Amino acid sequence: MREKLLMNKGWLFYYGEPDYIKAKKDVGDQIYRGSRAENANGPARRDFNDSTWRTVHLPHDFVYEYGQSHADGCIGEKNNFPLDRGSAWYRRYFRLNEEDKDKRITLLFDGVATRCKVYVNSILMEEHNTGGIGFEVDITDVAKFNSDLNVVAVYVDCHDYEAWYYEGGGIYRNVWLIKTNNLAVELWGTYVYSEQLEDGSWDIGIDTTLYNNYHADKTAKVISRILDPSGKEVAETISEPALFPLQESKTIKQTVNFVNPKLWSPDDCNLYELKTFVELDAEIVDEYSTTFGIRKFEFDPGKGLFINGKPVKVIGYANHQIHLGVGNAMSDSMREYQLRTIKEIGGNGFRTAHSPHGDATYDWCDRLGLLVMDENRIFHPSRMTIEDVQRMVKRDRNHPSVLFYSLYNEEDTLTSYIGRRIFSRLASAARKCDSRRPISGATSYGLLDKGSHDEHDLIGVNHQTHNFARLHEEKPGKPLYSSEAVFDLHDLKLFNELDYVFGGYYFTAWSFRSDGEPRYFDALGGKSKGAYINSAIVKKDVPQIKIWPEWDFPGEEGKVQQICVISNCEKVELFLNGESLGAKNVGDLYNMPVYEIPYKPGELKAVGYKDSNAAAEDISRTSGPAASIKLVMENSSLKNNNDDVAIINAYLMDENGNIARNETGLEVTFSCNEAGEFISSASLRPDGVQGIGGPTIRFYKGRVQAFFRSLATEGDLIITAAAKGLPKTELSIVCEKTGPIPAVDPEPNPYVTDWQISGVYVHTIDEHKIMKEHMIERWEHIDIRGFSGILNNYLPTRFGSGPHFYPAGAIMNFAYHAYATIPDLKPEKGKKLVLYFEGFDGKGNAYVTNTEKIFHGCRTENSPWPGHHRHELIVDCDQFKPGDKVEIWCFFHDAHRVSGVTWPVRWAYL
C-alpha cells in the first residue's frame, strides 16, 4: 500500500561550490567511465567526501541564513539581500528495504528555490527552474536496496533571480519519499467537482488518474468512497474494470448524486473527504485521500460574486511566502498564524503573491474560509512553464477555497500580441486540468489596451482602482476585481459601493521586512492602525474600539498628541486618568474620530456606545521600565511530531502588566527542554537587518519572537527566557500527542572517499614494508573512478605510443591508501560489517587495520579481459565498531591497463 514518508531531517549542506579532486583529462579511462550512466561529478556523486558539511533540517532557506549583502546599498539588491544569492548543495542518504523492490518509488519536493538539479545515486534525474511549485522525481529505476544506501544530491542555483521581492534559496519546503504499487493514483491525480442540478440536488464528479508503471498492460477498478464532514461514509461508486496501458496515465470518470449536501462557504467551511481505492487482481493495491468541498461560484459582470447563490464581497489580502526569522523556510504553523490574523480582522480572501504557496496555505484557507487567488510565478510559453502551471492547478484544484487562477503579476508583455498569446497558451494548459475555475491575471500594464483581456475570464486590476468605471464601460462582459489594492480605505469603500467589482486583495497583509511602517501587520504579526480600521469597517456587527497610537510618549509631557479612536460604535468617549475628554459621534467609518490631547502619563480609556449603552472598551497605559518577561505561543495548537514549530512572542512587561514599549537593547536568551529544539529568533530592527537570529537576541520596543521545533517526546515543551536583571520565565506548552510524522531515517555516508595512490613499483612490491614505513605523504590524492593512475600515465609502451619509461616485459605494481571512520550504519541481526569494493579489478590484496587488528581480502587472478569484469571484493571487518578509525591499503600485482580500485568502496552489513 501507499506510504508517504517525510525526509526533512538529516540533510548535509554546503554553501557555495566545494572543492573536489577532478578527473584527469589525460586519463582516458576516467573520461570513459565518467560518460556512463553514473556520470555525475563532484558533490553530485554518491561516493563524495561530505564529512565537513553541516547538517540542516528542512525547510531551509540558505539565502536568509547567510543574511544581507552590505555592498550596493541602494541598487542591485532586493530587500537588502543580494541579487546574486549564490549556490548551495544538499545531500541525503537513505535506505530502502527488500519489500520495496517491487514498488514505484518517487521523491516529492514541495518547493526548491530557485533553479535546481536533483541527482540520485550519481544520475541526474530532474532539473527544475522555478521556486514556486513543487515537483516529483521517479527514482524507481535507480533505487538501491538493503545495505546499498541511496544518495540524493540537490544542487540549488540562485545566481540569477526571478522575482523583484525576496525569494530566498534552498530546499525551503518539505521533501517526501512516496512508495506505491506500480499501478496507483498519480501525484495530484484526483479531481472532484460539483454541479447543482435543476431539481436542487448536486452531482459530484470524480476524475481519477492512475499511472501504470508496470511494463505490461493492467486491468483494474477504481473504488470511490465519500465521507461527510463528520467522517460518516455517505456514498460509494465502483468503476467497471478498465485497461491501463503500460507506462501511461489514464483517467476514470465517476459521478455521485447528493441531496442536500453540507455546502462550503467562507462562513461555513464544510469539508468532505474522498477515499480512492485501486483494485488490481482482486486486491486493493492503493489508497489515496482527497479533501474537497461542495459549493457553487458565479461571477456576474454587473452584480459581482455569488457563492451558493448568495452575494459575497471579497475582502482579501496578499502575502509573500516569508516569515521574519526564517525567510522562505516557513513552517505550517507560520502559514496558519498569518492566515488566521487575516481572518481575525474580517478578511475572507488570500492572494498567493506572486507564486504558488505551500500546501498548508490552501489547507488553512479551506478551514478558515479564505477565498484564494492562486497565482503562477513565471509567464513563459515554454514546456517547463506549461508544466509548472499544470502542476499548480492539479495540486490545488480540489481546494474549495481556490476561487480562480492568476497566471501573472504586472506583465508588460500583455500590451502586445506576444503577451496575449502567452496568456492563451498558459490558460489553455490550466483549463485542461480544471475547466471550471476562471483564469485571470494581475494587470498593471496595458489595462485598457484593446484586446488585452479577450482571453481573461476575470480582469484583475493592480493599483488603478480609479479606472474601474472606464474599464467596466469598455469591457462590460468581464467581471472586475482589484488584484492588488494599495489605497486602503479608498479601495475598501469602492469594493462596497461598486456592485460590478466583486472585491479585491490588499497588498500586503504582513510586512515582509523588519523595518518600515506596516500596512496591516508587522513582520512578527503585530497589528497596525490599518488592521484595526479595516476590522472595524468589515466586522461592523461586532462592536470594536481601539486607541491609536498607544498613550506612551516619553519626554513629550505637555505636548499635544493626536489620538485616533478607531471604532464602529455610534459614539466614543475618551477618559484621561479618569477624567472625561468628551464624546464624539463616529458617523463615517472611513473617517474615525480624532482627539488632540496634551500628553500626561497615565491611563487613557476609550468607551464605545451603541444605543446609549457601553459596547466596547480599550485602555492604553503609559509603560514603565521592564520588570519581567512574558512568553506567548501564537500557534492555534502544537503537535509533538518532530516537525511542528512553536511561534513564541516574548514581551518585556513593566510592574503593572503593560508591555514595556520603550525598552530596546536588553538581551534575552532562549532555551528549551528535551521536548524541543531552538530554530531561530527575530526582532523588528529599524535598520532592516533580517539574518537568522541565535538563541540570544536583543529586545526591540519590548518584543522579540523565537521559534522552536516540537519533538516526539511524552512530556510538555518547556521554553525558557532569561535576561540580565529580570526573573527567568518559563512557558509550558501541552502538545497534541500525535507522535512523529512517518519519516525516512537519515543514514551516514557509507563511502570511503579520500584515496591516495602510490607511484609504480617495478617487478616486485613489499606490502608489509610499505604499510610499516607508512611513507604516503607524497602519494597523489585521486578520484578513483576509472583510474588506476599507474598504467595510463607510465606504460604507453604497452598500450599505445609514447616514450618508453620502463623496459619491455616489466612487471608493474602499485598501491592505494585511505583513512576512514566506521560509520554508524545500524547493525542488522545476522549480518556482518564488511568493507565492500564494488570493483576490485586485477590481482591484489586489501587490508583494513587500526594497528591492533588487521583484516584481509584478496583476488588471485585477473578477469579474462583485464579490468573490464568489475570483480567485487568483500573484506570481513566485523570486529570493528562504529566510530573506530582505520586505514585501508590496497596492493595490485602485475597490473594491467585499468587495474585498480576503480569503483566506489563502502561500508555495509551483509
Span 815-860, pLDDT tens digits: 999 999 999 998 888 999 999 999 898 899 999 999 899 999 998 8
Is a pLDDT exceeding 70 seen at residue 70? no
Is a pLDDT exceeding 70 seen at residue 204? yes
Is a pLDDT exceeding 90 seen at residue 523? yes
Q: Which is it for the CA torsion 110, 113, 118, 124, positive or negative? A: positive
Cα separation of 406 and 430, whole Å?
10
Is a pLDDT exceeding 90 seen at residue 811? no
Is a pLDDT exceeding 90 seen at residue 405? yes
Encode pLDDT of 727-782 as tens digits.
999 999 999 999 999 999 999 999 999 999 998 898 899 999 999 999 999 999 99
The percentage of the chain sitting over the pLDDT mark of 70, rounded to a whole number, equals 95
Residue range 223-243: mean pLDDT, rounded: 98
The two beta strands, 480-485 and 459-462, are: parallel
Residue 551 has a CB neighbour count (10 Å cut-off) of 22
Cα separation of 658 and 448, whole Å?
52
Q: Which strand (E) or helix (H) includes residue 388?
A: helix 383-396
Is a pLDDT exceeding 60 seen at residue 723? yes
What is the strand order of the sheet 104-109 is part of?
Answer: 3-6, 175-180, 104-109, 135-138
pLDDT tier, 898 (very low <50, low <70, confident <90, very high otherwise): confident
Residue range 54-64: mean pLDDT, rounded: 97
The two beta strands, 844-849 and 833-837, are: unpaired
Residue range 553-558: mean pLDDT, rounded: 96
Residue 556 has a CB neighbour count (10 Å cut-off) of 12
- Please give the pLDDT value at position 71: 58
Cα separation of 302 and 99, whole Å?
60
Is a pLDDT exceeding 90 seen at residue 789? no
Cα separation of 437 and 290, whole Å?
18
Residue 453 has a CB neighbour count (10 Å cut-off) of 24
Cα separation of 401 and 343, whole Å?
13
872 phi and psi angles, rounded to 5 deg = -85, 160
Is a pLDDT exceeding 50 seen at residue 648? yes
- Please give the pLDDT value at position 805: 59
Cα separation of 730 and 727, whole Å?
10
pLDDT tier, 865 (very low <50, low <70, confident <90, very high otherwise): low
Which one is predicted more confidently, 801 or 67?
67
φ/ψ region of 511 (left if φ > 0, alpha if ψ in -120 to 50, else beta) reads: beta
- Please give the pLDDT value at position 801: 44
Three-class DSSP category at 433: helix
- Please give the pLDDT value at position 80: 74
Where in 465-602 does DSSP place strands (E)? 480-485, 501-507, 545-548, 560-567, 571-576, 579-585, 594-598
- Please give the pLDDT value at position 641: 97
Residue range 451-475: mean pLDDT, rounded: 96
Whole-number mean pLDDT of the chain? 93
Closest CA to 560 of 546, 572, 576: 576
Is a pLDDT exceeding 60 seen at residue 105? yes
Angle subtended at Cα 492 by Cα 488 and Cα 496, rounded to the nearest 5 degrees? 170
Given a contact cutoff of 8 angstroms between Cβ atoms, the answer to whether 615 and 577 are in contact is: no
For the chain, helix, strand, coil in percent to 5 are 15, 40, 45
Cα separation of 415 and 130, whole Å?
24
Is a pLDDT exceeding 50 seen at residue 794? no
Residue range 217-240: mean pLDDT, rounded: 98
- Please give the pLDDT value at position 19: 94
Given a contact cutoff of 8 angstroms between Cβ atoms, the answer to whether 176 and 216 are in contact is: no
pLDDT tier, 806 (very low <50, low <70, confident <90, very high otherwise): low
Amino acid found at 609: Y
- Please give the pLDDT value at position 472: 97
Encode pLDDT of 249-280 as tens digits.
999 999 999 999 999 999 999 999 999 999 99
Is a pLDDT exceeding 60 seen at residue 873? yes
- Please give the pLDDT value at position 68: 75
| DSSP letter, residue 414 | G
Where in 445-537 does DSSP place strands (E)? 459-462, 480-485, 501-507
- Please give the pLDDT value at position 67: 80
Is a pLDDT exceeding 60 seen at residue 804? no
Residue range 283-299: mean pLDDT, rounded: 98
Is a pLDDT exceeding 70 seen at residue 803? no
Given a contact cutoff of 8 angstroms between Cβ atoms, the answer to whether 373 and 349 are in contact is: yes
Residue range 525-529: mean pLDDT, rounded: 97
Q: Is the peptide bond before 291 cis (omega within 30 degrees of 0)?
A: no
Ordered DSSP codes for 45-110: SSS---TTPEEE-SS--HHHHH----SSSSSSEETTEESS--EEEEEEEE---GGGTTSEEEEEES
Encode pLDDT of 690-713 as tens digits.
878 999 999 999 999 999 999 999
Cα separation of 198 and 255, whole Å?
16
Angle subtended at Cα 605 by Cα 599 and Cα 609, rounded to the nearest 5 degrees? 135
Three-class DSSP category at 340: helix
Residue range 455-466: mean pLDDT, rounded: 97
pLDDT tier, 689 (very low <50, low <70, confident <90, very high otherwise): confident
Is a pLDDT exceeding 60 seen at residue 192? yes
Q: Which is it for the CA torsion 304, 306, 311, 312, positive or negative? A: negative
